[in-house]
Amino acid sequence: MSRKKTAIITGASGHLGSALSRSFHNAGFQLILLCRNKRDISRELLSEDGEIPLIFEADLSSPKQIEEVFGSISSRGIPADVLVNNAGLQGLKPLGELTAEDWDNMMAVNLRAPHLCTRFFSTASAPEDYPEGRSIVNIASIEAENPAVNHAHYDASKAGLIQYSRASALELGPAGIRVNCISPGLIDRPGLEDTWPEGVARYISASPLSRLVRPEEVADTAVFLCSSAASGITGVNLRVDTGIGATTGY
């Protein structure tokens, strides 16, 4: 009898992180969740099926804390089949006010942390321990290709993450690890339309589907990319954007 597969999900306490956790749980995965505060993990997820995820608190801007978490996972002898690098920062700041500290903080979480998590995940055990292979999914953004005003540091980090995913796919493919990227469009969340009505209206107007992205659509896409149905897919960036990428842009 085959063992239950395990998925490591970073940024698990956020809106998208919660959706990712639910989708992988529903797909039959055992969960290892990384977040800044355990109290922010969805109560609904913790109560489902009586199966409690393994949860680690970590500040992913700290290389030491990342190493400690993956060391703890390894010491428990838990084979990890999937890594979803979802944790990320997003902030608004004009170029003229963007400091070196602002830049470094963004890159530390959005680009360096996925690299370190990828490195520890990929070297944790031998390829022969995973006859069906393993998968990594990095959560980028459509802003990697369609930049926004006051988002230079965020947009650059996500563009870097897409190229890092491609490079990782090249290097890790021989070890049976597939690496793919998802670029979500504007994800719907409670209160978004109240706080940014003009942005929501512009997005819906431009979208061929005339709506925002649902978090579960991104999460289910991640599950697909980690499934046997996607066994021939690696090194791709898949936009889940309700069609914004197909618009003319003018």
What does DSSP say about strands 134-139 and 54-57: parallel, antiparallel, or unpaired?
Answer: unpaired
With a CB cutoff of 8 Å and minimum separation 6, the contacts of 110 are 88, 89, 154, 157, 158, 160, 161
38 near 55, Cβ under 8 Å? yes
Residue keyed to tokens 């002898």: 77
Question: Which position among 154, 164, 203, 250 bears the catalytic label?
Answer: 154
90: Cβ contacts below 8 Å, ≥ 6 apart: 151, 154
Nearest CA-CA partner of 139 in 51, 6, 19: 19
Q: Give catalytic status of residue 164 as yes or no.
A: no
Neighbours of 35 (CB within 10 A): 23
Maximum CA extent, the chain: 59
Question: Which of the residues are catalytic?
Answer: 154
